[in-house]
Homo-oligomer: A and B are copies of this chain.
Amino acid sequence: MNFEIFVIDTFFEDYYNDAISEYAKRLGRYCKIKLTKIKDSSSLEAALNGKAYVIQIRPRGRSLSSEEFSRELSNLATSGISSVAFIIGMKYATADESISLTTMDLSPALNTVCLYEQIYRAYRIIKNEPYHK
């Protein structure tokens, strides 16, 4: 699976960049994952390029448990979808679905860290591997 996370271009503290690098490294054995910062939502359409299944992350999206999120990713893969785009911190009206990591507002940087952590956790669940760290 190819994941691309599109996040509004705000300041990312070093500690959040470090966390993202660590999860990206751990995820390397399961998938391709890329983080793209976007100036504003009007640039999104061109960046998305119509090729990916688009999931918007927002507080009022559908709430999922980690197990449900892992099943969701697994189902996408088995239904032949090879590219998933996540959108954080921007409105995008025509997303395929909206999910909620939390009903609270998190900074885009912290939201991104949580999404990486959940994708990593999803693969650990899918592969039936313990979540050590």
Contacts and interface: CB of A to CB of B under 8 A. Distances in A.
Interface in A85-133: 100-107, 110, 113-114, 117-118, 121, 131, 133
Nearest to A18: B15
A91 B59 CA distance: 26
Given A113-B110, A117-B110, A64 B15 contact: no
A66 interface: yes
Q: Contact size class for A?
A: 20 to 34
A101 B59 CA distance: 11
A100 B104 CA distance: 9
Contact of A65 (B64, B103, B107, B118): B103
A133 B18 CA distance: 17
B102 A114 contact: yes
Contacts of A105: 65-66, 121
A100 to B, nearest CB: 8
B106 A117 contact: yes
